[in-house]
């Protein structure tokens, strides 16, 4: 199989398009790659599998219904991210371009700052397709227009109007709700059954709080599905609109048991974060939990460009304050990125004497505590500017991701000092953290995670947390300085959030969200070494043998 093209057939087939691969034994040398093949080569293919034999017969029977519900999110997300998928695909004659469009949900390369890869494509609007393309930012005014769950369009008189998602995506949401209810009928777990039924209702009513509460109440379920309008990353104009996505999940019971004790430590950890008390006056919900899952299907926003390897939900601040959040570690996807992407980066960019400190357990811990750290800090500004997310608008997501990174590492250091982490070296976490920053920076400025890691990289380097050896072209962590620099950055971020300081944050981002010459040279080396940037999946019931 030609490793640069054939895997992308899967992305097309999910949406009903036939993408033809070249002859199976055709060899393609790097210099012979077409520009589109070079873009495709930034992804490596991963089969999403898990041990379904450990599930009950009814649970195995539920999975096709859950996958069908997830697939309904595909077309709905295309409408938000781009518009008419069928029209775009019909005018793309090049098979590689069709594959790449399916991976990116539009004609813009998400790993190259949304650079158009289709010749006649306009630059991607900051507001994607949530808003009219001719809408100036200052025209948006009104609770309904700013709602998480409305598409903004112009009426016959040219006035902005809000169309509820349940109306705009009536067909897709109806299909998903029907599939969720079919799965609920098969469920032997009362909590999961209730959640599926309430989530089906939510898709048809745009009221998600009851289903979010029910999702938080589930404790013993072996299967799970995250579905509906969830994250705000796609809306880079305001950060208001939630994008359609889905994850279908199978719980890893053994790993979940290992993680459960950390969630109980959240309230005490909130008291120790390195910032003035005024910025940590909220108390995290006590129902938070940590679990490990294998993903068996990604759809919509979850499947676009770079893929999540952990999830922290729900995003509803009221649910967070009452119930906390659930942190889902996506173990099979995480392992794939560690093996196929992170370790090759380590062998190029990390100093020889520190490479042995990078390991999967530390990578897992860093990602896990990143998700836990989303629950720390503050959700409401301290000076009357409302919710942090609303005050910081389109800048909120990247800052929140940076907060979670540094507070996660801070928490690991705190727990290590308390003897709560078994057989784990803080040095390993620090070096693995730096290596993973290089992995995530490659997602580009179109990604909140990419921007977050770029900010961290430049700030930590300025504070002496690591150094660059020009002769060896490698980076080395200063194991003594890293903790202090992380704490300082955490304090800066939490103050921006607590004060809702939109303008000050803009200046901070302008200073630290930059790619210097040295960094660009090293990122180019990773590309020259043919190290993939992210993954694309072979997934679904056929892969699982169902």
| Residue-by-residue DSSP string for 208-253 | -HHHHHHHHH--S-SEEEEEEE---TT--SSS-PPPEEEEEEEEEH
Q: Give the DSSP H or E segment for 295.
A: strand 289-300
| β-strand pairing of 326-330 with 160-164 | unpaired
Phi, psi of 441, deg, nearest 5: -55, -30
Distance CA 153, CA 138 (A): 15
- Asked whether the predicted pLDDT for residue 279 surpasses 60, the reply is yes
Q: What is the pLDDT of residues 12-26, one digit of tens each?
A: 544 444 443 333 334
368 vs 185, which has greater pLDDT? Answer: 185
The Cα-based distances of 293 to 49, 210, 436, 438, 528 in angstroms read 11, 23, 21, 25, 34
CA atoms of 32 and 216, how far apart (whole Å)? 51
pLDDT grade for 287, boundaries at 50, 70 and 90: low
Whether the CB-CB separation of 410 and 490 falls below 8 Å is answered with: yes
329-335 mean pLDDT? 94
CA distance 52 to 120: 45
- DSSP per residue, 15-43: TT-------TT----GGG--HHHHHHTTE
Report how far residue 519's alpha carbon sits from residue 438's, in angstroms, rounded to the nearest whole number: 9
Helices assigned H by DSSP within 82-141: 85-90, 95-104
Q: Within 10 Å of residue 275's Cβ, how many Cβ atoms?
A: 19
Q: What is the mean pLDDT of the chain?
A: 89
349 closest CA partner among 480, 477, 214, 253: 477
Residues 271/225, Cβ–Cβ less than 8 Å = no
Burial class (CB in 10 A: 0-12, 13-18, 19+), 171: exposed
CB of 160 closer than 8 Å to CB of 187? no
- Judge whether residue 154 has pLDDT over 90: yes
- Band (286; pLDDT cuts 50, 70, 90): low
Quickly state the pLDDT bin for 266 (edges 50, 70, 90). Answer: low
Name the DSSP letter for residue 303.
G
| Nearest in space to 164 (alpha carbons), one of 150, 144, 153, 143 | 150
Q: Give helix then strand counts, H and E, for the chain.
A: 24, 13
Q: Do 166 and 173 form a contact (C-beta atoms < 8 A)? A: yes
**pLDDT tens profile 426-485:** 999 999 999 999 998 887 766 777 888 899 999 999 999 999 999 999 999 999 999 999
What number of residues does the chain have? 546
Can you say whether the dihedral through the CA atoms of 57, 61, 62, 63 is positive or negative?
positive
Query: Which two tokens mark 247?
Result: 């994850």
Torsion on CA atoms 189, 230, 278, 238, rounded to nearest 10: -170
| The residue to which tokens 């979670």 are assigned | 404
Verdict on whether the full-model pTM lies above 0.85 = no
Supply the pLDDT for residue 16. 46
Pairing of strands 310-313, 326-330: antiparallel
Residue of 209, 192, 300, 202 whose CA lies nearest to 251: 192
Alpha-carbon torsion, ordered 31, 106, 46, 408, to 10 deg: 110
Q: pLDDT at residue 135 above 80?
A: yes
State the average pLDDT over residues 122-129: 96
Asked whether the predicted pLDDT for residue 230 surpasses 70, the reply is yes
How many beta carbons lie within 10 A of that of residue 5, not counting itself?
23
Residue with tokens 């949900």: 105
Residue 225: which of 289, 255, 181 has the closest Cα?
181
The model's pLDDT over 384-437, given as tens digits with 9 standing for 90+, comes to: 999 998 899 989 988 999 999 999 999 899 888 888 776 668 999 999 999 999
Cα–Cα dist 299/72, whole Å: 8
The percentage of the chain sitting over the pLDDT mark of 90, rounded to a whole number, equals 70
Helix, coil or strand: residue 51: coil
Residue 127 has pLDDT above 60, yes or no: yes
Q: What are phi and psi of 35, to 5 degrees?
A: -55, -40
206 in Cβ contact with 149 (< 8 Å): yes
């Amino acid at each position: 199989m030609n490793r640069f093209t054939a895997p992308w057939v899967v992305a097309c087939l999910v949406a009903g398009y036939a993408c033809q691969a070249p002859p199976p034994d055709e060899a393609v040398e790097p210099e012979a790659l077409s520009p589109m093949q070079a873009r495709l080569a930034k992804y490596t293919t991963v089969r999403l599998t898990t041990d379904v034999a450990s599930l009950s017969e009814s649970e195995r029977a539920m999975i096709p219904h859950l996958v069908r519900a997830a697939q309904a999110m595909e077309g709905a997300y295309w409408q938000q991210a781009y518009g008419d998928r069928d029209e775009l695909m019909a005018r793309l004659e090049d098979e590689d371009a069709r594959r790449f469009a399916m991976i990116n949900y539009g004609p813009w390369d998400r790993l190259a700052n949304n650079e158009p890869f289709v010749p006649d494509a306009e630059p991607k609007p900051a507001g994607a397709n949530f808003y009219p393309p001719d809408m100036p930012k200052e025209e948006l005014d009104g609770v309904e227009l700013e709602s998480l769950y409305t598409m903004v369009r112009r009426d016959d008189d040219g006035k902005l109007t809000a169309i509820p998602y349940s109306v705009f995506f009536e067909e897709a949401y109806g299909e998903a709700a029907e599939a969720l209810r079919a799965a609920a009928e098969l469920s032997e777990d009362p909590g999961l059954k209730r959640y599926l039924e309430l989530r089906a209702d939510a898709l048809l009513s745009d009221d998600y709080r009851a289903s979010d509460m029910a999702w938080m109440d589930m404790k013993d379920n072996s299967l799970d599905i995250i579905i509906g309008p969830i994250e705000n990353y796609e809306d880079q104009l305001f950060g208001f609109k939630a994008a359609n996505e889905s994850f279908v999940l199978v719980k890893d019971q053994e790993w979940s048991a290992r993680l459960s004790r950390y969630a109980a430590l959240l309230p005490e950890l909130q008291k120790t974060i390195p910032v003035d008390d005024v910025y940590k006056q909220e108390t995290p919900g006590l129902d938070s939990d940590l679990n490990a899952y294998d993903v068996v299907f990604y759809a919509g926003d979850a499947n676009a460009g770079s893929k999540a390897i952990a999830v922290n939900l729900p995003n509803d601040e009221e649910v967070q304050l009452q119930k906390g959040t659930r942190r889902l570690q996506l173990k099979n996807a995480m392992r794939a990125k560690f093996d196929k992407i992170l370790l090759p980066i380590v062998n190029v960019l990390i100093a020889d004497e520190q490479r042995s400190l990078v390991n999967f357990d530390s990578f897992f811990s860093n990602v896990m505590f990143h998700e836990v750290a989303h629950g720390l800090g503050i959700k409401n500004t301290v000076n009357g500017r409302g919710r942090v997310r609303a005050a910081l608008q389109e800048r909120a997501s990247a800052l929140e991701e940076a907060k979670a990174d540094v507070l996660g590492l801070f928490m690991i250091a705190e727990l290590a000092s308390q003897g709560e982490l078994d057989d784990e070296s803080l040095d390993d976490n620090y070096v693995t953290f730096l290596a993973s920053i290089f992995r995530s920076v490659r997602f580009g400025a179109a990604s909140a995670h990419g921007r977050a890691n770029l900010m961290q990289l430049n700030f930590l380097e300025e504070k002496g947390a690591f150094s660059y050896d020009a002769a060896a072209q490698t980076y080395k962590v200063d194991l003594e300085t890293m903790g202090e620099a992380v704490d300082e950055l955490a304090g800066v971020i939490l103050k921006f959030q607590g004060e809702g300081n939109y303008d000050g944050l803009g200046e901070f981002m302008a200073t630290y969200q930059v790619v210097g010459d040295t960094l660009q040279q090293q990122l180019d080396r990773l590309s020259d070494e043919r190290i993939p940037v992210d993954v694309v999946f072979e997934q679904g019931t056929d892969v699982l043998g169902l």
